[in-house]
Amino acid sequence: DIQMTQSPSTLSASVGDRVTITCRASQSVSSWLAWYQQKPGKAPKLLIYKASSLQSGVPSRFSGSGSGTEFTLTISSLQPDEFATYYCQQYKSYSLTFGGGTKVEIK
Amino acid sequence: EVQLVESGGGLVQPGGSLRLSCAASGFTFSSYAMSWVRQAPGKGLEWVSAISGSGGSTFYADSVKGRFTISRDNSKNTLYLQMNSLRAEDTAVYYCAKDPYTEPYYFDYWGQGTLVTVSS
């Protein structure tokens, strides 16, 4: 199985900050990578697919980049509603795998 | 509007069985792959199983292979997960998730989840 590793596991930030989360794959997944946001007690929400394509309805302050084994999710200006946990997920192989998550906390 | 509503969760003893259901509406169910994704209390997301739109192809995580069976009834717009030989480590919220394609890739819609607790 392809292993996905996110860093950091926890990130402290303030409203308005630029936030960057990294996701690394144990082998190349090309651009077959998605990002999700999850708030406590809620289902995950799709933000980005194919590494850099913004899902419909998601604010443009979210962006994704990367290919191969290294990817980033960037929030250009963190909003109060965006303190949450973020996950990456590869779909290069049919054994789909998620990263361990990055919790974005209020500083 | 896409809606996914899971049911069937509950408390079950180790070694027991449970069948989860996911009722889908708001889209052409048979055109899309579907998956089950779980989340143990306080932990991250774990993909469990997927099924193609036609139901002809199924996929499983190693952790559940041989114990869980995914299926779908396209005439009823319903996804199922039959879980046998349950273990304590299967305790989790189980989410039903829709793929934007006929084969499993990523998930554009999720249900609200159903809690499965395996305990004596």
Express each pLDDT in B29-50 by its tens digit. 999 999 999 999 999 999 999 9
CB pair distance less than 8 Å for B106 and A49: yes
In whole angstroms, give the CA distance from residue B81 to residue B62: 15
How high is the pLDDT of residue B27? 98
What average pLDDT does the structure give for chain B? 97
Task: Please tell me if residue A52 touches chain B, with a CB cutoff of 8 Å.
Answer: no
CB pair distance less than 8 Å for A34 and B59: no
Residues A84-99 as b/e (b if ≥16 CB within 10 A, e otherwise) read bbbbbbbbbebbbbbb
How high is the pLDDT of residue A94? 87
CB pair distance less than 8 Å for A34 and B113: no
How high is the pLDDT of residue B15? 98
Mean pLDDT across the stretch A1-9? 97
Is residue B13 a contact partner of residue B120, using CB atoms and an 8 Å limit? yes
Chain A residue whose CA is closest to B6 = A43
pLDDT tens, position by position, B63-120:
999 999 999 999 999 999 999 999 999 999 999 999 999 998 999 999 999 999 999 9
pLDDT tens, position by position, A51-95:
999 999 999 999 999 999 999 999 999 999 999 999 999 999 989
- Residues from chain B that touch A96, judged by Cβ atoms under 8 A, are 35, 47, 50, 104, 106
Tokens of A53: 């394509």
In whole angstroms, give the CA distance from residue B113 to residue B21: 11
How high is the pLDDT of residue B70? 98
Look at residues B55, B51, B37 and name the one whose alpha carbon lies nearest to residue A45.
Answer: B37
How high is the pLDDT of residue B5? 98
Chain B residue whose CA is closest to A47 = B108
